[in-house]
Every structure is written in C-alpha cells, then in structure tokens.
Chains A and B, each alone.
Chain A
Amino acid sequence: MTRLREYLRPNTVDQALAAKQERGTTARYLAGGTDLVVFKPADVTCAIDITRLDLAGVHTENGALVIGATTLLRDIERHPAVAGITAGALLEALRETGPWLIRNQATLAGNLCNASPAADSAPMLLALDAELVLSDGRVIALDRFFVGPHRTILRDELVLELRLHPRDRAGSYHKQARSKSDIALVDVAVTARRENGRFTEVRVALACVAPTPIRARETEALLEGRAVDEELLSAVERSVRQEIRPIDDWRTTAAYRSHAAGVLTRRAVAALAAK
C-alpha cells in the first residue's frame, strides 16, 4: 500500500511545477485535499500543497466571473457577484457539490480535476461556458477538459483559474439523488438568454449520463431561437434521451437515468420559460 512520504508546500507556481515535473504521477497537487485523502490513489507518494500560491479569490472581469483555483467553495458562494448569476441557479448548483462541512474545505477547481462523471458542479459550469486557465498558458473549455471518468487533459500542469461567462443568461438546475446527501443519479442544468420570448445561446448540460459531464448540443439546437410550448417540451424530453449514454449501475438503471434526464430537462426548460 502506498502512503504519502512527502508533503511539500511551495511558495511559487514555478516551484510547484518543478516539484510535479520531477515526480510525475507519483505526486499530486493538493488544495482542499478532500478527494486525495479519501481516494488514496495508488502510487502517489507526494502531496504538493498549492494553497500558498496566491491562487484564491473571485472577481469579475469584462462580464466574466474569474475564480482562482484554490478558492474554497464556501468563499465562492459568498462572493456578491455569484448570487445574481442565472438568478441563483449557479449558487444552487454550487451548494449541491457537497455538504456544508465539505464546502468549507474543498475547492471548485479540485472538484473539476477529480472529473467524476457525476460532478454536480459541472453541468451548470458547462452551461456557463466555463474555461480553465492552465499554468502553461492554455485556456481550455470545460467540455474539452474532461476526457473520461476521473480523467482530464492535465499532466503536470496546474489549473490557475476558472472563468465563467454568464452573459445575462437565466438558468435552471435540477439534481436527482436518493437523498440530500448523495451523489446524483442525474444532474441537469439549462441556461439561455431570452429575447422576445425566445431562447438564444441555449446551453443544456448533464452529468451521470455519460462517461463525463456533457453538453446536449442537439437538444440545444432544438431550442435555439424558439419559443417554448408543450410540443417543444416533449421534443426536448425525447431529444435528451437520444443524446445521452447512461449505464446500469448498482445505484440505478440506465432506463431510469434516461427517463429522469428527459423529465428533468423538460422541467428545467419549462422553469426557465416561466421565469
């Protein structure tokens, strides 16, 4: 059994990168650390604590919300700019990423780097065109960041910050789980701008219905420029079910996930139309 043998706390990004490059996959960056300590990944013997790298903080910049990588979920929630985005749907999604105690010590960036197919924050972030800024200068859209279950494009790079682009969208978020303290069975987030009763810049994103959190682009196209009526809502429900690839697991069946994803997406769109 591998246990941590080394704990490093570099003071600069360069120091952190050097330490990681030297050790490769035997080292992991640690911010909140909540996933690292629980999952104890095999062969990891070094933790590189990045909380001294001055990467915490939230600010707005040209309409984008910029979240430093080591910002705790609790601090993101409390930032005055956040509650207004999508009139509270983003805040709702953030509060579903884990219990209050966990949000006091976990980071949003860390949650994304863990890349669970069921990441509760991911659908709403995808629906807000989230991007990650990496230490090598690349800016990666979130839906390209996830590669597979618990796999991202990262090698030794550090995530420096997360950028969201709300663009005055309204939003609706639904999570279905066995209890209020559970990994989701299905997560859905829908955002859109509304002009003259029609939806534009529609985003439909889901988690737990594919190897990674995904955008349902065909369903988005179905909604783009349209006004919502009963027929469209039924079409949305059917379209989402076509786009997703849920699996049977011991939590629930693919059939249930598929059914629930359709219902929740329809409800999210209807809620958006009603707002």
Chain B
Amino acid sequence: MILHLTINGREQAVDCEPYETLLNLLRRVGFTGAKRVCESGECGACAVLVDGRAVDSCIMLAAQADGSRVTTVEGLGDLRDLSAVQTAFADNGAVQCGFCIPGMIVAATSYLEENPEPTEEQIRHVFVGNLCRCTGYVKPVEAVLTAARRMRSGGNGD
C-alpha cells in the first residue's frame, strides 16, 4: 500500500506492507534517529511526533500515519543548529551512550510545548516511558529543566 506522509516537513509517498510499523518505515527511508530497542512500546527509544503528539513508533502501524505529519529527532535540530532541548542535553552531560536520547528529546520537546514551566516531578512522570540504563535519569531531567528555563527567557542556550 502507498502511504502519503510528511516527514520532517517534506511530503513523501512510501510503499509499505500492512504489517510494517512506523518505526521500521522511518528507519528504512533513512531516519535512523528513532531506535529499535523493545518493539513493544515499553522504552520510548523510538518516539517520534505524529501530528504533534509524541508516540512510540514501534507500536504504531505505518498505515496509521497515512496523511499525517511526522517529526523525528532529526527534524528538531541540526548538528550546527541544535534546539534548546538538544543543547541542554549536550551541555550538561545528559548523553552517555545516546541510544535513548532521541526518544527523550522528542518527548521532552513535545512536553515543553504543552507545559513550558514543568516541575522536576512532572518531567520524571513524562519520562516514565523513556527507559535509560546509562544515566540514572539525573542529568536528562536536569537538562529538561534547564531547557525550559532558557526557553522561557527567550534564548536557546547556544
């Protein structure tokens, strides 16, 4: 079946099987930022935005995203133009192996749009579905607080 999606701002027509997940489709067309870790919606490493909502792409059929706008971590910033959230993660030691990070950044970016002034507890609640084995979550949570502060004061910290 042919799907029509907008991925990171660009319209694309992609052929896929009914059983293919959105994660597998995204990775196969070159967006490898979303990671394959559990394929059961438990760890958040595959998180992307679909029509502005952060979701686990490994448990969404690609077909469900037909006609939708999809944003992956690659669409949130660039190597030399990091977003505020990306900058905060990079600067405060929140990134160790990096495998969980795209999912965390997608979730955090989306959440800060809903709630620009989060508490630590709220951020931890949002991150319940983003598992990490390297950091103990300490610096990632701090990074989101830092990004929120900077965004409220109008900069992105670069």
Contacts and interface: CB of A to CB of B under 8 A. Distances in A.
A and B touch in the complex (CB under 8 A): yes
Interface residues of A, number: 26
B59 A37 contact: yes
A107 to B, nearest CB: 13
Nearest to B129: A99
A74 B54 CA distance: 11
Interface in A72-129: 72, 74, 95, 98-102, 104-105
Given A4-B19, A102-B56, A37 B129 contact: no
A104 B59 contact: no
B20 to A, nearest CB: 9
A33 interface: yes
Contacts of B19: 3-5
A101 B64 contact: no
A7 B61 contact: yes
Interface in B1-31: 1, 17-19, 21
Nearest to B20: A4
B63 interface: yes
B36 interface: no
A139 B64 CA distance: 29
Interface in B39-98: 40-42, 44, 47, 50, 53-56, 58-61, 63-64, 66
A74 B111 CA distance: 12
Contacts of A34: 41, 56, 59-60
A104 B61 contact: no
B84 to A, nearest CB: 20
A49 interface: yes
A3 B21 CA distance: 12
A96 B54 CA distance: 18
A4 B47 contact: no
Interface in A174-217: 180-181
A181 B60 contact: no
B18 A105 contact: no
Interface of A: 3-7, 9, 30, 33-34, 37-38, 47, 49, 51, 72, 74, 95, 98-102, 104-105, 180-181
10 contacts: A7-B1, A33-B61, A34-B59, A34-B60, A37-B21, A99-B44, A99-B129, A100-B127, A104-B54, A104-B55
